[in-house]
């Protein structure tokens, strides 16, 4: 994707509360399933944090110190504004960095959180690269594109092997976590509403203003067509795929 298209995508999504499927209830469901409870001083990194949906909950609910990492300053600016509004500036530190080169000390984090973002480097590469930053017994919490059934139409398989070859059933993702040296501690699939109501509907509502802002340029219209095609694809096929939330721990001390 060229830089102009990326800039347009960031412009479309920076006004969203979330940049991917999920909801506050789902973030809290994962926190509860992992057994996280409020603990001042808990060190959490939120990787690919976007405009901060999960970072705000992790800091607000757990009193944790959250380092919120994203590649795009426009998202981090939004996150910073939301953080100030929520009175959480002392707990959330935005950091502009790539998830492929995280600026953390080895073994310093209690929790690595990442919703709808690890696909940018791939699940297997991400879980392997990030493990060293966790303390012994540290928690990894990631949501990731997954097959929800053992079988699916061939054209769907072909579409995703092009779009994201890493897509796999939960059983395979859990095996990958084990092979990477984690102990899986929880999994649940996200409901379709996490995409349709929480992500696609607000995105669709922003499209007319987005087109106006960019004078209905060809590049902007291409972005809109991509968003609409993605939504139509999800509506047609969401019984077969969606996001899974995966929770795993490194071996204890
Ligand atoms: N976690 C947020 C955002 C998910 S969208 C939420 O659930 O709302 C994916 C995010 O990953 C975007 O914010 C995007 O800017 C970020 N991203 C993409 N490539 C990245 C990279 N290489 N390093 C860090 N962040 C990246």
Per-residue three-class SS string for the chain: CCHHHHHHHHHHHCCCCCCCCCCHHHHHHHHHHCCCCCCCCCEEEEECCCCCHHHHHHHHHHCCEEEEEECCHHHHHHHHHHHHHCCCCCCEEEEECCCCCCCCCCCCEEEEEECCCHHHCCHHHHHHHHHHHEEEEEEEEEEEEEECCCCCCHHHHHHHHHHCCCCEEHHHHHHHHHHCCCEEEEEEECCCHHHHHHHHHHHHHHHHHHHHHCCCCHHHHHHHHHHHHHHHHHHHHCCCEEEEEEEEECCCC
Tell me the pLDDT of the chain (253 aa) as tens digits.
566 889 999 999 999 999 999 999 999 999 999 999 999 999 999 999 999 999 999 999 999 999 999 999 999 999 999 999 999 999 999 999 999 999 999 999 999 999 999 999 999 999 999 999 999 999 999 999 999 999 999 999 999 999 999 999 999 999 999 999 999 999 999 999 999 999 999 999 999 999 999 999 999 999 999 999 999 999 999 999 999 999 999 999 8
- Residue nearest (by alpha carbon) to ligand 1 atom 13: 50
pTM for the full predicted model: 0.97
What is the Å distance from ligand 1's center to 39 Cα? 26
Task: List pocket residues of ligand 1, CB cut-off 6 Å.
Answer: 18-20, 22, 48-50, 53-54, 69-72, 75, 98-100, 115-117, 120
The residue extents of the domains of the chain are 16-191+240-249
Mutate to test the pocket of ligand 1, among 51, 71, 198 (most ligand atoms within 8 A of CB): 71
Give 16-191+240-249's CATH code, choosing from 3.40.140.10, 3.40.50.150, 3.40.225.10, 3.40.190.10.
3.40.50.150
């Amino acid at each position: 994707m060229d830089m102009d298209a990326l800039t347009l995508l960031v412009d479309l999504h920076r006004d969203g509360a979330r940049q991917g499927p999920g909801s506050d209830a789902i973030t809290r469901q994962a926190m509860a399933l992992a057994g996280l409870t409020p603990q001042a001083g808990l060190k959490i990194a939120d990787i690919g944090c976007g405009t901060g949906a999960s970072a705000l909950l992790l800091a607000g609910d757990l009193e944790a110190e959250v380092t919120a990492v994203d590649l795009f300053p426009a998202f981090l600016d939004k996150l910073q504004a939301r953080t100030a509004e929520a009175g959480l500036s002392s707990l959330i530190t935005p950091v502009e960095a790539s998830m492929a080169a995280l600026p953390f000390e080895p073994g310093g984090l209690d929790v690595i959180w990442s919703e709808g973002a690890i696909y940018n480097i791939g699940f297997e590469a991400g879980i392997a690269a990030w493990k060293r930053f966790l303390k012994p017994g540290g928690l990894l919490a990631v949501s990731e594109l997954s097959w929800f059934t053992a079988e699916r139409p061939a054209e769907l398989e072909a579409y995703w092997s092009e779009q994201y070859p890493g897509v796999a059933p939960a059983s395979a993702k859990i095996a990958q976590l084990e092979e990477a040296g984690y102990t899986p501690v929880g999994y649940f699939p996200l409901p379709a509403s996490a995409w349709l109501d929480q992500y696609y509907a607000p995105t669709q509502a922003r499209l007319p203003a987005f087109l106006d802002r960019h004078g209905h340029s060809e590049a902007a219209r291409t972005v809109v067509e991509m968003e609409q095609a993605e939504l139509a694809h999800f509506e047609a096929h969401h019984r077969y795929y969606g996001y899974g939330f995966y929770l795993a721990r490194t071996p204890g001390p």
